[in-house]
Amino acid sequence: MCAVGNYSVTSPKSPDNPRPLNVFNHLKARWQSLCKLPDELSTHGCSMCVVHNSLVIIGGYTNAQRESVQREAFVYDPLFNTWSTFPPLSTPRALLGLAVVEEHDVIYAIGGSIVKMDLSGHPFPEPLACVEVCDLRMGTWREGPRLPKPIVRSNAVTCNNTVYTNISSPQSDVIYSLSTEKYKWERLTVVPRIRFVTSMTSWGEKLFVIGQRAHDFEVDPMCFDLGSEEWTTLLYRLHVPQPLRVEETPCFDDFTIVSNGGEGSYLYILTQHMTHRYNLAEEKWEDLGFPGCPGSGSYRVVTLHVPVSKMARFQH
């Protein structure tokens, strides 16, 4: 499980420095620093995905003030512990959704926002409906099917070669699907209880979402079964009665699925202070006391297989 920090909660104007790439050591049940991020890379509003076990970071703002968007993109190879440049987007943006269809060797860059200036000279985000598709074999981006409407902050996930994303409506978020065969966005379902979706992931035939309601950050993660088309709740608050959050920040930063072969599959969820684990097969919360990711600020997290030999160098 690999996490990249975003900004400092105590001082949002000042990014954390240095900014390490943190990984969760499952053998030690703790977080540790794996390597330093490239000096040119800003992690404010960036998006991450994993392609053939390489970590790709695309988009974001050039600084904490969000005055301009980042053009550079990077890819990390955990086998050789090296960073390389990645083909940049045709339309640089921040807060975009990334979905990978490994079978077709493509990445979908969905929605997000660019920076505009108001009459007073202050930056503000302008939402985008454009979608770009990266052909990993050619190393080039092309235009994809546009979203039904623009969205400032997009989240995306892939399940069985179908791409899913959220689009905000006046009362709720709506999940849309994009079949690689039809190549057209279709409305799938309305997300219950959660007003603002902040992250999505998938396992088997299920989609998982986390987010928040207006003026209420203690919203349980939700699960949508693609077969039955029914929503269920993971009942996080039943097991953690006192929300672990910093004032005016979401209870959850991000989450990801980790499958450990015969040991099972788990949903790991990051809060500001702790890392929690949900057993997907048994549908219950376990090990609620793992430490949180070191440092301050919100995090984006993905699953990356890192050789134990690479992690051993960083053990204390």
Q: What is the pLDDT of residue 4?
A: 84
Under DSSP, the state recorded for 69 is B
What pLDDT, on a 0 to 100 scale, did the predictor assign at position 17? 53
Confidence category of residue 36, pLDDT binned at 50, 70, 90? confident
pLDDT, mean of residues 93-109: 94
Average pLDDT along the chain: 83
Q: Is the pLDDT of residue 244 over 60?
A: no
pLDDT digits (tens, 9 = 90+) for 136-177: 999 999 999 999 999 988 999 999 999 999 998 777 899 999
**What is the arithmetic mean of pLDDT over 230-255?**
64
- By residue count, the chain amounts to 316
Percent of the chain with pLDDT over 70: 83
Distance CA 184, CA 178 (A): 6
- pLDDT for residue 307 is more than 80: no
The per-residue pLDDT for range 165-174, each reduced to its tens digit, is 999 877 789 9
At residue 19, the pLDDT reads 67
Question: Residue 296 has what pLDDT?
Answer: 58
Q: Which residues pair with 82 in a beta bridge?
A: 77
Is the distance from CB of 56 to CB of 105 less than 8 angstroms? no
**Percentages (nearest 5) of helix, strand, coil residues in the chain:** 5, 50, 45
Of 264 and 296, the structure prediction assigns the larger pLDDT to: 264
Output the pLDDT for position 247.
40
pLDDT band at residue 31, thresholds of 50, 70 and 90?
Answer: confident
What is the signed CA dihedral for 38, 153, 24, 106, rounded to 10 degrees? -70
Q: How confident is the model at residue 315 (pLDDT cuts 50, 70, 90)?
A: very low
Q: What is the mean pLDDT of residues 55-73?
A: 90
Question: Which domains can be identified in the chain, with CATH numbers?
Answer: 2-312 (2.120.10.80)
Choice between 31 and 128, residue whose per-residue pLDDT is larger: 128
